[in-house]
Amino acid sequence: MSQIRADRLTFSYDGSIEPVFENASFTLDTDWKLGLIGRNGKGKTTFLRLLTGELSGSGTLTKSVPVAYFPYLVTSEQMKQTAADFAEELRENCEQWRVICELSELHEDAEVLYRPFETLSLGQRTKVLLAILFSGENDFLLIDEPTNHLDAQARENVRQYLASKKGFILVSHDRDLLDACTDHILVLNRKTIMVQSGNFSCWQENQERRNQFAEAENEKHRKQIRKLRQAAKRTAEWADKSERTKIGFDPIRENDRSISTRSYIGAKTKKMQSRVKNTEQRIEREITQQEGLLQDIEKVVPLKMSPLKHHKETLISVHDCALQYKGTAEPMCSGLTFNVRQGDRIALHGLNGCGKSTLMRVILQRVGILPEDDNLCVSGTCETASGLVISYVPQDTSFLSGSIPEFCEEQGLDRSLFCTVLRQLDLSRSQLGKDISEYSAGQKKKVILAASIMTPAHLYIWDEPLNFIDIFSRIQLETLLNSYEPTILFAEHDIRFRENIGADTICISNRNK
């Protein structure tokens, strides 16, 4: 059994105020099924890049086995080729028969290896790349968010597949995936790094206990500090009062006192002052013990939103609707019939390519938020209530660039309030001064979500809002939706999120199934 050891590992990006890692020390076994979790921008992908040698920091990071990283970077030239043609370019000495064996475990036909890669669905591409990754031997595998954009069935296939493997680090914000596939958790806390045996739910349960203990200890220290400060204040007042009586006295009122009493009073005052000093030292010790108790607690700060009330009960009415792009033989979906009423939380569910995003775009086109698509044919009816205000979160965030003030001006948002919401979503103050194009994928998604949350609307349409979003922010969003109960139509493959907010599910059939 080999190990990976970090000793006082420190790394920071050029121009960054705060280091990503500082004096981090831990040990990992290479036969573990290790889940890596942490807030967006905390350094999960950076740590994987340190392991691959792409980045280097101070301290030591030693490993006795080679590593391989997922997802592979597929070039534009390779996209036009078949995976069978370029597999060995991604993984040295890759043997096709091994890849085919891995594909069978992923419930995928071997023929996907011999089709142009660009013609494959997102789920098929992920499966092919995972099969290539696991086709080698003796490597420690680094798997970075393999289920983003995958539909429920593809996620289940990947979940079952990874559950049967070992010897990897899995970066994921999917709580069900982490529970099914990991036996150890590596957590990038706010100030420390911790390794614990068990899956995500075990870690979460233990973390809640640690948080409760830390808060109780913190409160105990605060009470003790208050008592000590009160005692120190009283003793200091007594000492000052005693010191003032050392010189000068009334011989009539204090007839039992003589000039020799002065030395006694001085000694008494000195003793009181020594007691004050000892108390202050105890206060300092209590403060030192208190420091660090709460440094790693992830407080899920409550978010706020202002959903609007519409004069009509039914906001969206879809009846016998079919969606089909020109030039395609069959519609993406057909026979869609459902209503969106005020207060509804509706999740669109279906395989990749079944038309979930397209349907949401059609609704947005009906209210004038998006332009009409001349290549899309819509039959049946899709009606929206008059005067309907919609707040939209798209899947794609690659278009984001510029500064936060520029984004706020473009979107008509209050800059101060917007920055407050981003801080509540755990973006640091230093991050707010950067160009948005430099943000991580999860941080970009938080920018779009923050803008939507701040926008008063009758209906919120969110297209895969949780892609790249960390676990703690997912819990924040669940709390927000349960507290304010906005009308929301969304597509999201995180089943636990859908269950936690009590969403109703509309199943959309894929034309190929």
Domain 3-206 and domain 314-507, same fold? Reply is yes
pLDDT at 513: 44
Number of helices (H) and strands (E) in the chain: give both, helices first.
Answer: 16, 17
- Contact at 8 Å (CB) between 244 and 263? no
pLDDT at 256: 56
CATH topology of domain 3-206: Rossmann fold (3.40.50)
Neighbours of 274 (CB within 10 A): 12
How many residues comprise the chain? 513
Mean pLDDT by 10 residues, the chain (513 residues): 87 78 89 91 88 89 90 92 93 90 91 91 87 88 87 86 93 92 90 88 88 80 77 74 59 55 68 77 71 62 93 95 87 92 94 87 94 91 95 92 95 95 90 90 94 97 92 93 96 92 88 46
- Contact at 8 Å (CB) between 63 and 221? no
pLDDT at 342: 96
- pTM tops 0.85: no
- Contact at 8 Å (CB) between 67 and 139? yes
Buried b (16+ CB within 10 A) or exposed e, 178-206: bbbbbebbbbbbeeebeeeebbbebbbee
Q: Which residue from 291, 310, 146 is spatially nearest to 217, judged by alpha carbons?
A: 291
Cα(40)–Cα(473) distance, integer angstroms: 9
CATH topology of domain 314-507: Rossmann fold (3.40.50)
Q: SS3 sequence, 17-46? A: CCCCEEEEEEEEECCCEEEEEECCCCCHHH
Strand partners, 319: 381
pLDDT at 57: 85
Find how far residue 156's CA is from the centre of its chain.
21
Domain boundaries, the chain: 3-206, 208-290, 314-507
pLDDT at 129: 93
- Contact at 8 Å (CB) between 44 and 35? no
Alpha helices per DSSP H over 398-456: 404-411, 415-424, 429-432, 441-454
